[in-house]
Structure 1
Amino acid sequence: MSNEIGPTTLPERVEPEVETRADGVVLRVRRNGGIVLDGVRLGISVDGVDLGMDSVSLRSRDREITDEWTARSGKATGVHRYVHHETVHELRHATGLEWQIHIRAGADGVAVRYVLARFEGQGRLDADHTRLTLAPDARVWALDYQTWYETPRFGADVAALPPGAYGLPLLVRSPRSGEFHLLTEAAIDGRFSGAHVEIRDGGQLRFALADESVEITRGPVTPWRVFLVGALATIVESRFVEELAPAADPSTDTRWVRPGRAAWSWWSDFYSGAQLHRQRHFVDVAARLGWEHLLIDCGWDETWVPEIVAYASRRGIQVHLWAVWHDLDGPENLAKLALWRSWGIAGVKVDFMESESKDRYRWYDTILAETARLGLHVNFHGSVIPRGWARTWPQVIGYEAIRGSEYYVFYQGTPLTAAHNVIQPFTRNVVGAMDYTPVAFGAPGRTTSDGHELALSVVFECGITHFADDVDAYLARPDAARFLAELAPVWDETVLLAGDPDHEAVLARRAGDRWFIGGIATGPARPLTVPLDRLTRGPAEVWIVADGADGGLTSYRRTVDDKLVVEVAVNGGFVAIVAAHGTALHSAVERPEQVAPRVDPPVQLLDPDGAAILRTDGQLRLPPGWSAEHLGGDRWRVRAPTALAPGRAGIITVETPGQDGVPIVAHARLFRPLTPGSHRLSALTMVGFENESGPVERDQSNGGGNPGDGRRMTVAGTQFDDGLGASTPSRIDLHLGGTVTRFTARIGVDDETPATGARMSVHADGVELFSAEVRAGEPPRDIDVGVAGASTLSLRADTLPHHPEPAHVDWAVGRLHRTGHTATTLAEQ
């Protein structure tokens, strides 16, 4: 005996049907009258009980959901309206436990969620039994499951697919109808564990939880299980995943979210994140190309980050910082976000989460809420796939969850293939922003053409597209630089023009009155024929950048009507800009330099009460715990928290309006004066530094280019536990404010750089007071330099003419001494 519930007919002609039978609950989906999904078994196990078996239908209720949201990034920004039909099926298991199956149908798919609306207390979700059988001759495009989704994607017939765990989204082509369905998830948060699919012999596919079991309470116990259905264009252009996600907090203003293009130095110059001068160069070229953002990866130091923020802001460029997830875990670590935001930072790239557990999703919840509160963009790397957060949390402008360009750097011998790239627009990028970091012209062992690499900038979508290569690599290819300058920062519309996951992908994205086309192919050289009927009516002007005969790029203009034919190389590609007659194909302009806010003085000591007077023509952004009182005119009294230790500084950010709504910033550094006594050098705030290899290290040798990679300082076998480790050439600047009488230290070349030498010198207010040549293997030298009345102190280390190679030097046991009553300070402890 069976009890059929449905179908519910929609104007869009996507019709889900649910049937309860003695052997289980089954879902069938029709589209335009034809069956596109059949025999989808539904159910879950709670506390060891399989609710999908031995349940009876109690009742069902229907409602229509009409809603809208404003997308700040993605395939199509602006207001998006949609209509869903939802049916709630209420069932009772033989044990008496009541449960629900919620079915949502939209224009391009169906979603299933399980709910325990009357559940008492706590229980365990042991398994998700949602499953279906794939035909042996069906074709799937999948990737081996990994919690950070960085294995290669590939296509295979089901009969040849090894049993195992596979990641979402998973694309399937029906052998009967030729239509497609894509499986994924939506609307996840810290109540749930993530899911993947397991495929067994015979094509049995089931959803599987990342956690072995999940603690549950009353309400939804799974995210939405999503089945997009239809032609490839329907799937590629779908926004169903975002439609299923919860709405953003209506009281939150997200107009500050700014999609765009970013310069990023890490890929081409691994240790450049520690080099202020390199970041300035990337800002300069980004401004020349009109880009909006700069990402500084590992190696940045709080000493100079405010300086690059100020430098970039004068060109309308916002700065983002990289961090590891566990460095933001817990209340004390989470407070770093507010500190960084106070410097004028616009966003964070958070890395290495590498988990889909419920516990990790709770961490995501915390980061999402805090970045939204602070007004910080967030880009997740080593992360889960998108599941609709672009709607709920519009500040999320990127996820990795893709085998991207970093695999050229970290994983030699596992190159990125054109076939892997072509699959992405039909799978991974369907569900949301994908930070592949494209356009890697300098990739070692690359098998894709230059045209293919350039086309990834259009074919792949991310809220902020971080270009992989050195900015100079783009300038060296004028056609590429010109196109990347024209490339729109945000999209109004996205359409699939041609292709399939096994051969090529040609997408068009509209920005205003121009269409940007990107085409990538795998396989032999050939012409790609691109229909233009969805873009333009009648003749249009096109500028094309494609594979050249010499292996580089070539560009040309032409007038086209209903189609475009472009020759591509082996594993090739192309880009194009299409505009109606009379519309300019090119409109990019360089970002002008703007005037910085006035801050007087930019560096000063706080008075004994912890206050200082600043004069400025802008508004203040304060670090946590600081306060400010406007005294009228251009005068502000700023006060430090009592916890600020002697020799430490607060960074006060001054902002004035700039272009594109990006404030122009400058900074003041306010230092707590040193108390009488001796103060450990490594505990004090530096005004600035320059260092040949990575950051200046505190209480360890310089090590390599990464922060915190030094060892115990050792000079000729003598070890030291505190001081500063640097590398020639280097300069360390400190603010004394006229309060310090002497500087003492034990100096020398660290044993980690044998057979090297350096000239180490001490300068006060620009005057050299001490210098000495030191060489590896020589015992540490004791120095005692008088600096009474000096405002600034500079510690320098330079190469020697006969020792041009970098030497790692130690300013060990460095102390600043102030005369008067000796007191133990926080800096000394």
Structure 2
Amino acid sequence: MKRLFLIAAALTAATTTSAREYTVTSPDGKIEVKVSTQPELRWSLSRAGERLLEPSRIGLTLAGEAPLGVAPAVRSVRTEAIDTRSTAEVPTKFRELHDRCNELLIAFRGDWAVRLRVYDNGAAYRFETARRGETVVEDETAEFNFASDNDTYWTRERNPDFISHCEAFFERKRLSELERSVYAYLPVYFATPGGTRMVVTETDLEDYPCMFLFGGEGRRLRAEFPPVVLESRLKEGSDRNEEFLRKADYIAVTEGTRTYPWRVVTVDEDDRALLENYLPYQLASKAVEGDASWVRPGKISWDWWNGLNVYGVDFEAGVNTATYKYFIDFAARYGLEYILLDEGWSVSTLNIREPRKEVDLKEIVRYGNEKGVGVILWTLWNPMKKDLTGILDTYRDWGVKGIKIDFMQRSDQEMVNFYEQIARAAYDRGLLVDFHGSFKPAGLQRKYPNVLSFEGVYGMENDKCSKDITPAHDCVLPFTRMVAGPMDYTPGATVNATAADFSVSWSHPMSQGTRAHQAALYVIYESPLQMLCDSPSHYLRTPEFTGFIAAVPTVWDQTAALHASAGEYAAVARRNGDRWYIGAITDWTGRDMEIDLSFLGEGRYRMQYFADGVNADSYAQDFRTGEREVTREDKLNVRLASGGGWAAILTPVK
């Protein structure tokens, strides 16, 4: 949200116009957006002659005013070609960013405007208003009237209060098959009959609720927003689940002079191009002023998924100092930057300033510092809300490096604001943030570089209680949830199973798909704070696997998508410094894949690869490793087993 009113210049040079339709195209001329103002404000979208969105209503309803967008009177119109470059503080796709688009700004009588930007890979619009003092936003109108009965990946949410971890299963549906009784959180993916791929999401979300989409009306989707929560409390007997006692009949109380969130539609010619799309990050506010050089992305040895089940040791494993020192020793051995003390380290989940007596936190932090391993602490959001600065001051004084804050489960204005309060307060104290039980990224990670990851995904932690986290599901996520931003999926399982062999186990969890599938996820899934979910004892017994995933970075200078089909397979190459990394995964269908190495620079590279073993189709833990020299002229023929994967690290030969 920008508090300097951005349409002032347009208004001072305003001239009344009688035109009712305006057009803006992408720099390459392929994507076209049309905006009509009568009788209502609507926009439409097409690409290369394929109609994508039919005229769709957009508008804003402020208390005490006629709805903005109904018979609006245009005061001025301005177009601008934008072509700027910047550098990502914490790059997840590209370090160097090229912001190239054409912009249309339409200012209306009544001191408000709509700003549209059209890129070669998508389009976005946002509202801007100029009002003195605060204003009450009663509602926002956002329709998506698709021109075709597209396929979509849709999440089935039902809670009437929009309470959600945003950890639902993506179901492939036609628009015409959607039910009125369920809704989807963002982002939402669409595939047209003509081959175009779209994702609807939002970014630059500040002081405003999240947007959700409802279907059940043919090809038309409409947005709804959580209302302001006036009074809430924890449910009886719960430390984290709330009930709402009073809700307002409006969605936000906010500054009257501001910009509103961008409504984003990415547009790509195929799934492969979608994997390189970073439009939500481009449109987000740039980083706050200050030195962010202290922000250290990296990998974490995590305790919760494996239940602290370590073995072959001379101490009793559990939530205690000795076990966490063991985690630190493991992390130090493999160059991992952090360990995470998840739920259980404190005397209670509501008292997160006092470690339990078995956990000598100061000694754990001291020992970690000695070994070059930082400590991150899990916290509930509710006690943090009550004493944010006091708790974070305590953590900073303890020498903790960051927090994993959990179970927010809400998407209303108050909660969106709380995310920013956490990000700002942590940034000021040199602390990293990982949001769990959260909604998707919506630009906060660009504004505050210490915000390294978000959950908001049906990730691998659910293998402990569900059979849903299949290789096919893994092949959906890069085209859906990950389009919004970093995704804390928590890969790294060492116990791997075929569909026939998989079983749910809370205390001894396993993953579906092969070991090489797990290795490849470290390249494909974007998260500057990336977990190693399994027991250090398991990792120590499979050094080829552990050494490989420990060598994969968590930030990327360049991304080159190689092959992609949502729900079926994905192959991506990424560069960090002068090294390239490749990851490829498939669903339960085994397949052969050609990896064209033309993205490499000149000269020879030493390639270390991690591949499915000969028997991986029947024994998912079977893998093989090897090395060879390659150049950019080479094309590799790679075999992926059922539920399989392939990964490689390519280092220039000096």
User: What residue in structure 1 maps to residue 625 of structure 2?
Assistant: 555
Deviation at 1:570, TM superposition (A): 1.4
Deviation at 1:151, TM superposition (A): 0.5
Q: Within 5 Å, give how 1:326-725 maps onto structure 2.
A: 326-330=382-386, 332-409=387-464, 412-442=465-495, 444-445=503-504, 446-536=511-601, 540-550=605-615, 551=619, 552-560=622-630, 561-580=633-652, 582=653
Local SS of the residue matching 2:201:
strand
User: What residue in structure 1 maps to residue 321 of structure 2?
Assistant: 276
Deviation at 1:449, TM superposition (A): 1.6
Is residue 2:261 matched to residue 1:223?
yes
Is residue 2:304 matched to residue 1:266?
yes
Deviation at 1:20, TM superposition (A): 2.6
Local SS of the residue matching 1:126:
strand
Alpha-carbon spacing, 1:74–1:153, altered in 2? closer, same or farther (3 Å): farther
Tell me the amino acid that sits aligned with residue 183 of structure 2.
A
Q: Distance in 1 between matches of 2:428 and 2:134?
A: 31
Local SS of the residue matching 2:490:
coil
- Structure 2, unmatched stretches of 5+, are 1-16, 158-162, 228-248, 310-316, 347-354, 497-502, 505-510
Contact 2:156 2:183 survives alignment (8 Å) = yes
User: What residue in structure 1 maps to residue 218 of structure 2?
Assistant: 202
Q: Distance in 1 between matches of 2:41 and 2:89?
A: 39
Deviation at 1:217, TM superposition (A): 3.9
Tell me the amino acid that sits aligned with residue 33 of structure 2.
E
Tell me the amino acid that sits aligned with residue 592 of structure 2.
P
Q: Distance in 1 between matches of 2:549 and 2:254?
A: 48
Local SS of the residue matching 2:492:
coil
The one-character-per-residue Cα deviations of 1:495-519 (angstroms, maximum 9, x if unpaired) are: 2110111210111111122211111
User: What residue in structure 2 maps to residue 159 of structure 1?
Assistant: 176
Tell me the amino acid that sits aligned with residue 354 of structure 1.
Q
Local SS of the residue matching 1:124:
strand
Contact 1:187 1:244 survives alignment (8 Å) = yes
Contact 2:272 2:565 survives alignment (8 Å) = no
Tell me the amino acid that sits aligned with residue 427 of structure 1.
T
Contact 1:103 1:110 survives alignment (8 Å) = yes
The one-character-per-residue Cα deviations of 1:306-338 (angstroms, maximum 9, x if unpaired) are: 1111111122211111100112113x3431111
Contact 2:308 2:319 survives alignment (8 Å) = no
Q: Distance in 1 between matches of 2:103 and 2:589?
A: 47
Local SS of the residue matching 1:24:
coil
Q: Which of 292, 312, 328 is the matching residue for 1:254?
A: 292
Local SS of the residue matching 1:3:
coil
Q: Distance in 2 between matches of 1:130 and 1:165?
A: 15
Alpha-carbon spacing, 1:13–1:415, altered in 2? closer, same or farther (3 Å): same
Q: Distance in 2 between matches of 1:77 and 1:221?
A: 27
Is residue 2:378 matched to residue 1:322?
yes
User: What residue in structure 2 maps to residue 114 of structure 1?
Assistant: 127
Deviation at 1:26, TM superposition (A): 2.4
The one-character-per-residue Cα deviations of 1:561-582 (angstroms, maximum 9, x if unpaired) are: 44222212211112112344x2
User: What residue in structure 2 maps to residue 764 of structure 1?
Assistant: none
Q: Distance in 1 between matches of 2:474 and 2:522?
A: 12
What is the TM-score normalised by the length of structure 2? 0.82
Q: Within 5 Å, give how 1:761-800 maps onto structure 2.
A: none
User: What residue in structure 2 maps to residue 19 of structure 1?
Assistant: 35
The one-character-per-residue Cα deviations of 1:731-758 (angstroms, maximum 9, x if unpaired) are: xxxxxxxxxxxxxxxxxxxxxxxxxxxx
User: What residue in structure 2 maps to residue 615 of structure 1?
Assistant: none
Contact 2:53 2:146 survives alignment (8 Å) = no
Q: Distance in 2 between matches of 1:518 and 1:12?
A: 30
Deviation at 1:530, TM superposition (A): 2.5
Alpha-carbon spacing, 1:174–1:136, altered in 2? closer, same or farther (3 Å): closer
Deviation at 1:414, TM superposition (A): 4.0
Is residue 2:275 matched to residue 1:243?
no
Q: Which of 240, 250, 257 is the matching residue for 1:213?
A: 250
Is residue 2:165 matched to residue 1:141?
no
Q: Distance in 2 between matches of 1:230 and 1:91?
A: 32
Local SS of the residue matching 1:285:
helix
Q: Which structure has the highest strand share of the two?
A: 1
Contact 2:135 2:255 survives alignment (8 Å) = yes
Deviation at 1:294, TM superposition (A): 1.1
User: What residue in structure 2 maps to residue 725 of structure 1?
Assistant: none
Alpha-carbon spacing, 1:413–1:246, altered in 2? closer, same or farther (3 Å): closer
Deviation at 1:5, TM superposition (A): 4.6
The one-character-per-residue Cα deviations of 1:212-256 (angstroms, maximum 9, x if unpaired) are: 622244134631101111233433222221221122222x10001
Local SS of the residue matching 1:11:
coil
Contact 1:136 1:202 survives alignment (8 Å) = no
User: What residue in structure 1 maps to residue 246 of structure 2?
Assistant: none
Alpha-carbon spacing, 1:201–1:10, altered in 2? closer, same or farther (3 Å): closer
Q: Distance in 2 between matches of 1:343 and 1:519?
A: 41
Tell me the amino acid that sits aligned with residue 261 of structure 1.
K
Larger Rg: 1
- Identity among equivalent positions (%) equals 28
Contact 1:2 1:20 survives alignment (8 Å) = no
Local SS of the residue matching 2:366:
helix
Contact 1:18 1:25 survives alignment (8 Å) = no
Contact 1:69 1:391 survives alignment (8 Å) = no
Tell me the amino acid that sits aligned with residue 584 of structure 2.
G
Alpha-carbon spacing, 1:28–1:21, altered in 2? closer, same or farther (3 Å): same
Contact 1:71 1:390 survives alignment (8 Å) = no
Larger RCO of the pair (alpha carbons < 8 Å, separation 6+): 2
**RMSD between superposed Cα atoms in Å:** 2.5
Contact 1:285 1:471 survives alignment (8 Å) = yes
Tell me the amino acid that sits aligned with residue 554 of structure 1.
R
Local SS of the residue matching 2:23:
coil
Q: Distance in 2 between matches of 1:282 and 1:496?
A: 35
Contact 1:397 1:464 survives alignment (8 Å) = yes
Larger mean CA deviation between 213-222 and 356-365 belongs to: 213-222
Q: Distance in 2 between matches of 1:511 and 1:70?
A: 14
Alpha-carbon spacing, 1:281–1:530, altered in 2? closer, same or farther (3 Å): same
Q: Within 5 Å, give how 1:26-37 maps onto structure 2.
A: 26-31=42-47, 35-37=51-53
Q: Which of 170, 183, 201 is the matching residue for 2:200?
A: 183
Deviation at 1:70, TM superposition (A): 3.5
Tell me the amino acid that sits aligned with residue 89 of structure 1.
I
User: What residue in structure 2 maps to residue 82 of structure 1?
Assistant: 99
Q: Distance in 2 between matches of 1:180 and 1:539?
A: 36
User: What residue in structure 1 maps to residue 142 of structure 2?
Assistant: 130
Contact 2:22 2:36 survives alignment (8 Å) = no
Alpha-carbon spacing, 1:505–1:277, altered in 2? closer, same or farther (3 Å): same
Q: Distance in 2 between matches of 1:508 and 1:36?
A: 30
Tell me the amino acid that sits aligned with residue 500 of structure 1.
S
